[in-house]
Amino acid sequence: MAPRRALLISYHFPPSTEAGAQRWGAFTRVGEERGWKFDVVTSELHTQPPVAEGVYRVATGRHWINRSTDILVRWKNRLRMFPSPVKTMGGGTIGRQVRRRAEISFPRSFGDLRRNVRALLRYTEALPWMSGAKRTAINLAKINSYDVIIASGPPHMSAEAARVAATLAGKSLVLDFRDPWSLGDIIQDEVASWVHLKLASRLEGRVVGAARLVVMNTPRAAQMMRRAYPTTDIIAVPNGFNGDRPTARHPHDKFIAMFTGEIYIDRDPRPVLSAIAQIAGELGLTAQNFEMRFIGPSLTFGGLMPEQLADAAGVPFGLVTSHPAIPRTVLFEKMEAAALLVNLPQGESNSVPSKVYEYLHFPAWVLGLEPAGTATHDVLAKAGADVRRPDDVLGIAEIIKGHIQDFRAGVRPVALAGIDEFRGSTEATRFFDAVEERLPPA
Same domain, 400 and 278: yes
Residue 274 is assigned to a structural domain of this protein:
yes
Same domain, 157 and 58: yes
Same domain, 221 and 185: yes
pTM of the entire structure?
Answer: 0.85
Same domain, 312 and 231: no
What CATH number is associated with residue 15?
A: 3.40.50.2000
For 227-275, the three-class secondary structure string (H helix, E strand, C coil) is HHCCCCCEEECCCCECCCCCCCCCCCCCEEEEEECCCCCCCCCHHHHHH
Same domain, 396 and 431: no
User: What pLDDT score was predicted for residue 63?
Assistant: 52
Residue 213 is assigned to a structural domain of this protein:
yes
Range of the domain at 288: 255-408
User: What pLDDT score was predicted for residue 308?
Assistant: 96
Same domain, 211 and 269: no
From CA 163, how far away is CA 211, in angstroms rounded?
A: 8
Same domain, 223 and 277: no
Same domain, 153 and 269: no
Same domain, 169 and 311: no
Residue 76 is assigned to a structural domain of this protein:
no
User: What pLDDT score was predicted for residue 62?
Assistant: 57
pLDDT in tens, 132-153: 999 999 999 999 999 999 999 9
Residue 50 is assigned to a structural domain of this protein:
yes
Same domain, 266 and 359: yes
Same domain, 163 and 234: yes
pLDDT in tens, 15-25: 888 888 999 99
Looking from the CA of 170 toward its CB, the CA atoms found within 13 Å total 2
Q: How far is CA 157 from CA 10, 73, 125, 131, 200, in A?
A: 10, 23, 11, 9, 10
User: What pLDDT score was predicted for residue 31?
Assistant: 96
Q: Which residues of the chain have pLDDT under 70?
A: 1, 45-52, 61-96, 265, 442
Residue 413 is assigned to a structural domain of this protein:
no
Residue 94 is assigned to a structural domain of this protein:
no
Same domain, 175 and 229: yes
* Number of domains the chain is built from: 2
